[in-house]
Each structure stands twice: as structure tokens, then as C-alpha cells.
């Protein structure tokens, strides 16, 4: 246990997206290893629940994109933020770690600050100010006592506005690195054998899944016309299973549905992948699966994104490489014909596949996939900041 941290400590922890649930679960394990009497209250997904989170409300309503989705989720977000603030006050929480989801984290931070001013406020996963809306760095500095960044190149953005900043790396990426390589076991378990295998990832948000499952399904039909032996595995995030499962029932390729805990084996087994934009694209690259990205949002969200984005790419691998390593088909370009045409050469092997695989290593190095376990670095920083904010009385 870190010096200066009380024997019995309550932390408020918040994660409202699937990727945040992965980060939160790893962080909770690392914190418990250092402070065995620590307890957690807040919100998260099934992985955080398994680590002992006392969850105050479901997070499904928060998995939205853009201003229209945020407006729809606002009543639930206000209620959730108030619940976190009450928990921080009633439990005399030493700290509140708000993971990802900048809009909800900002809302919750304001309420926690007002209700429990002695609680250390920590942002885990910085808003991507290098990609859009750089003014968010100043907002973060005003609300939080510290920020944990996933990428080393992010730290100067926050240090220059005076907020305590610690680069920790990305535990989700490191988990992919450490668990990649079990593709043969996946193929044997699901009877895939030597058949070509396409991993399909239609997203972790309901809007993503609704917009992409039909497009992805038709893409598979086109691929199978020329590759009748093609098999398909579909990654299903917890919040979208009710959407994805019935949609996949009509797909060819004898689809195998896989859940979050099995995804690295599936990625390692795949010859190629078709994915929505998100954390999963970097995980696929780490597992050595060349891919094509397809993505669609509603027209209002598209207008908003175009008004704020400052990077030409959506995939972190492309952003790190500063070029389009992974083909991106967005909005009107996200069609079954375009996706199938780009995936074919990746499934069949050849220059396109080899070029993508060769570009992964330098891009992943820039993304900090190596280094010590991110959750360990994050846990040490959090315990240090808690002790500085509210030291143990003599």
C-alpha cells in the first residue's frame, strides 16, 4: 500500500463505454494489489462488476455518439452524475476516477467537486485534444486534479495548462499484446480449420451496430461469392448483443459470436478483419490482423464531427503513422462494394496484406504499446495523488 493512503479507502470509479470497462477492470485489479482494503462504487460494465464494483446505475444509455445522441442521453447522464456525486459525499471518497467519455466525465466532475470538494478528481483517458477541440485541455485543468494519458505525445497538451499529468500507456493494448497468439486454439475450438477467417466488429454502441450490421452483412455475402469456404467470427460487445445477435443469424459464413474475453484469440486467428472505428482497430493491429474500417453516423453527427475534427484519420494506427495504413471507408463511402473490394486482397494475401502488416510495428511503437503495465503505472499515480489531496492524519 502506498504511503499516506488510508487503510480503508473508497474510490468512485466511472466507465460508461465498453473500452472504459476494460481499462477500469485492469485498474481496479492493480489498485487492490496495492491497497487490499480499497473498495469501489460508481458505474461500469460487466468486467468492472467482476472486480467488485458497487454499480449505482446501468451504463447502456450513455453509449452514444455526437451532440444528438448526447442530448438524448442527457436525462440519464444528469441522474448518473448526481448519483456519483452523492456516492462521493456519502462515502467520503478519497478519489473519483472518471474513465473516457469526456462529456459525461465533465458533467460528473462538476457535481462531485461541488458535493465532495475533498475528493481527488482524476481523469483517466484524456480527451483527444490533438484531434479536435484543443480548448478541452483548459477545461480539464479547471475540473480535475490529475490526468492519466494513454499516449506519450498527449502529455504536453495538459502539462502546458498546469494540470498534473502522467503518461501510463494503454492497458487494453497491452492486454492484446500479452494475450495475442492463441489463434490456433480458437480455430480448433470453433471448427474453422484452415478456412479463411474474417473477424467482424460492428461496434460497441447501439447506434454503431444498427447502422453497420446490414452493410457488413452484405459485404460478407459479396466476399463469399468468390470465397465459398470463408468463415466469419463476430465480436459482440455487451451493450449491443440484442442488436447484433439477430442480425448475424442471417449472415453466411457460419458466424461464430465471440465476447470481449475471447476477442484476442479471435483476432489472432483471423486472416483479416472488418471493423467499426474504435479501440478495437489498434487491438487488431497488435494481434497481426490486417483490416478495413467502415463507419457511419447520422447526418447531424457528421456535420458536428466535420466542424471540430482536426485530424484526417479516425484510426489510431493511421494517426500514429500519419498516413492511411488501414483503409477507412466513412459515411457515403462505407458501402458493401467498397468494403469487399478492399478486404479481398487482405484475405487472399499479397502486397496489400504485407504492406499493412509491415506498417503496424512502427505505428504501434508510437502508440506506446510496449512499456510497463499501464494499470500499474495508473494505480501508483492515483494513490500518490489521493495521498497528496487528503493525507492521512497523524
Range of the domain at 32: 10-169+371-389
Domain shared by 200 and 69, yes or no: no
The three-state secondary structure class of 279 is helix
Per-residue model confidence (pLDDT) at position 394: 30
Three cell numbers, residue 2: 502506498
The gap from C-alpha 281 to its chain's centroid, in whole angstroms, comes to 10
Residues 155 and 240 in one domain: no
Report pLDDT for 65: 56
180 plus 79 within the same structural domain: no
Cβ(148)–Cβ(123) under 8 Å? Answer: yes
Q: Do 323 and 378 sit in the same domain of this protein?
A: no
Residue 3 lies in a domain: no
In a domain, 157, yes or no: yes
Distance CA 218, CA 215 (A): 5
Task: Give the CATH number, domain containing residue 257.
Answer: 3.40.50.2000
Torsion angle of C-alpha atoms 251, 211, 180, 355, degrees rounded to 10: 90
Angstrom distances, CA of residue 128 to CA of 135, 154, 171, 316 = 11, 8, 17, 11
pLDDT for 279 equals: 86
Q: What is the pLDDT of residue 261?
A: 79
The number of distinct structural domains making up the chain is 2
The stretches in the chain having pLDDT less than 70 are 1-8, 63-70, 302, 304-305, 307-308, 310, 390-394
Cell of 128: 483527444
Residue 155 sits in the same domain as residue 233 = no
The pLDDT assigned to 393 comes to 39
pLDDT tens track for 253-305 = 889 999 877 899 999 999 999 999 988 999 999 999 999 999 987 777 767 66
* Predicted confidence (pLDDT) per residue in 142-186, tens digit: 999 999 999 888 899 999 999 999 999 988 788 888 877 789 999
pLDDT recorded at residue 69: 61
C-alpha closest to that of 208 among 278, 159, 136, 130: 278
User: Are residues 63 and 125 both part of a single domain?
Assistant: yes
The pLDDT value given to residue 1: 46
pTM recorded for the entire structure: 0.71
Same domain as 195, residue 128: no
| One domain for residues 88 and 197 | no
Q: Are residues 264 and 194 located together in one domain of the fold?
A: yes
Amino acid at each position: 500500500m502506498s504511503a499516506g493512503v488510508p487503510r480503508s479507502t473508497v474510490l468512485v470509479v466511472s466507465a460508461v463505454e465498453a473500452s472504459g470497462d476494460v481499462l477500469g477492470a485492469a485498474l481496479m485489479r492493480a489498485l487492490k494489489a496495492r491497497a487490499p482494503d480499497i473498495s469501489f462504487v460508481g458505474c461500469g460494465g460487466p468486467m468492472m462488476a467482476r472486480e467488485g464494483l458497487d454499480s449505482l446505475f446501468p451504463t447502456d444509455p450513455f453509449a452514444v455518439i455526437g451532440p444528438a445522441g448526447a442530448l438524448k442521453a442527457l436525462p440519464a447522464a444528469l441522474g448518473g452524475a448526481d448519483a456519483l456525486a452523492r456516492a462521493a459525499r456519502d462515502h467520503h471518497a478519497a478519489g473519483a476516477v472518471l474513465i473516457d467519455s469526456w462529456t459525461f466525465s465533465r458533467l460528473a466532475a462538476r457535481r462531485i467537486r461541488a458535493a465532495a470538494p475533498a475528493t481527488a478528481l482524476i481523469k483517466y483517458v484524456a480527451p483527444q485534444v490533438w484531434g479536435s477541440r484543443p480548448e478541452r485541455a483548459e477545461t480539464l485543468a479547471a475540473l480535475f486534479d490529475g490526468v492519466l494519458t494513454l499516449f506519450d505525445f498527449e502529455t504536453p497538451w495538459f502539462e502546458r495548462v498546469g494540470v498534473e499529468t502522467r503518461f501510463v500507456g494503454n492497458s487494453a493494448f497491452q492486454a492484446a499484446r500479452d494475450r495475442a497468439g492463441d489463434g490456433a486454439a480458437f480455430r480448433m475450438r470453433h471448427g474453422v480449420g484452415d478456412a479463411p477467417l474474417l473477424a467482424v466488429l460492428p461496434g460497441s454502441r447501439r447506434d454503431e451496430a444498427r447502422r453497420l450490421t446490414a452493410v457488413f452483412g452484405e459485404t460478407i455475402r459479396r466476399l463469399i461469392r468468390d470465397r465459398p469456404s470463408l468463415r466469419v467470427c463476430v465480436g459482440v460487445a455487451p451493450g449491443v448483443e440484442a442488436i447484433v445477435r439477430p442480425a448475424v443469424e442471417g449472415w453466411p459464413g457460419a458466424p461464430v459470436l465471440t465476447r470481449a474475453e475471447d476477442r484476442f484469440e479471435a483476432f489472432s486467428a483471423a486472416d483479416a478483419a472488418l471493423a467499426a472505428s474504435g479501440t478495437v482497430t489498434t487491438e487488431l493491429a497488435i494481434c497481426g490482423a490486417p483490416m478495413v474500417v467502415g463507419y457511419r453516423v447520422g447526418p447531424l453527427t457528421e456535420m458536428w464531427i466535420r466542424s471540430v475534427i482536426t485530424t484526417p484519420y479516425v484510426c489510431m494506427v493511421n494517426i500514429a503513422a500519419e498516413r492511411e495504413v488501414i483503409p477507412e471507408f466513412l459515411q457515403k463511402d462505407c458501402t458493401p462494394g467498397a468494403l469487399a473490394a478492399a478486404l479481398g486482397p487482405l484475405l487472399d494475401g499479397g502486397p496489400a496484406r504485407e504492406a499493412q502488416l509491415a506498417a503496424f510495428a512502427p505505428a504501434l511503437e508510437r502508440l506506446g504499446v510496449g512499456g510497463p503495465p499501464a494499470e500499474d503505472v495508473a494505480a501508483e499515480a492515483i494513490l500518490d495523488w489521493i495521498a497528496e489531496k487528503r493525507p492521512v492524519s497523524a
